[in-house]
């Protein structure tokens, strides 16, 4: 009876090790299976908080090119207008992005008036502005999570609230 019990323990451990190895192998292939979502800046909304600080809300379109749903778990970013960093932020709530679709997301940006420079005037007057948004995003799919860096550039026209990707 002792030999049979030892054999069962060894078999159970071998099975567990196999599952762990399979999980690690599958997770390492995840970035080859999942196409990265893209982020397009559509609008910037200004909201003064004090004499020196302004709160911005950016409107993003998050496009999921995959044939399965993704969940945007976390999203850290820096926003540049007219080649100047205006601020950064972090989206804390999870956002579901359905398969082969685009989802609108509102994300906060903390910015100082001094960082806005000429961009503030362009935003107020509705002038066309080049933008860049970069950072890292963590996405969750049915079979695991993946964190990846991103960088998107385009032009923002506040009059039209319709940015175009390059």
Query: Are residues 75 and 117 part of one domain?
Result: yes
Whether residues 12 and 86 fall in one domain: no
Same domain for 7 and 68? no
Domain residues for 49? 36-165
The DSSP code sequence of the chain is -HHHHHHHHHHHHHHHHHHHHHHHHHHHHHHHHSPPPEEEEEEEEEEE-SSSEEEEEEEEEEEE-SSS-EEEEEEEEEEEETTEEEEEEEE-S-EEE-TTEEEEEEEEEEEEHHHHHHHHHHHHHT--EEEEEEEEEEEEETTEEEEEEEEEEEEE-TTTT--EE-
Same domain, 28 and 105: no
* Nearest of 87, 58, 93 to residue 75 by alpha carbon: 93
User: Which tens digits make up the pLDDT trace of 11-67?
Assistant: 777 676 666 655 554 444 444 577 888 888 888 777 766 666 667 888 889 999 998
Q: Do residue 54 and residue 128 come from a single domain?
A: yes
Same domain, 71 and 145: yes
What is the CATH number for 85? 2.60.40.1820
pLDDT band for 155, please (50, 70, 90 cuts): confident
Residues 127, 64 share a domain: yes
Whether residue 40 sits in one domain with residue 4? no
Number of domains in the chain: 2
* Whether residues 63 and 22 fall in one domain: no
Tens-digit pLDDT profile for residues 98-149: 999 999 999 888 776 666 666 666 666 666 778 899 999 998 877 678 888 9
């Amino acid at each position: 009876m002792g030999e049979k019990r030892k054999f069962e323990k060894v078999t159970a451990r071998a099975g567990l090790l196999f599952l762990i190895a399979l999980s690690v192998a599958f997770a390492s292939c995840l970035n080859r299976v999942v196409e990265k979502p893209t982020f397009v800046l559509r609008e910037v909304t200004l909201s003064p908080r004090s004499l020196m600080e302004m709160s911005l809300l950016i409107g993003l379109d998050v496009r999921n090119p995959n044939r399965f749903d993704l969940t945007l778990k976390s999203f850290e970013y820096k926003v540049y207008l007219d080649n100047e960093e205006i601020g950064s932020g972090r989206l804390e709530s999870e956002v579901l992005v359905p398969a082969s679709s685009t989802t609108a997301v509102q994300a906060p940006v903390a910015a100082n008036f001094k960082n806005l420079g000429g961009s503030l005037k362009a935003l107020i007057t509705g002038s066309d502005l080049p933008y860049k948004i970069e950072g890292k995003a963590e996405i969750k799919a049915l079979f695991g999570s993946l964190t990846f860096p991103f960088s998107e550039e385009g032009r923002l026209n506040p009059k039209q609230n319709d940015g175009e990707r390059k």
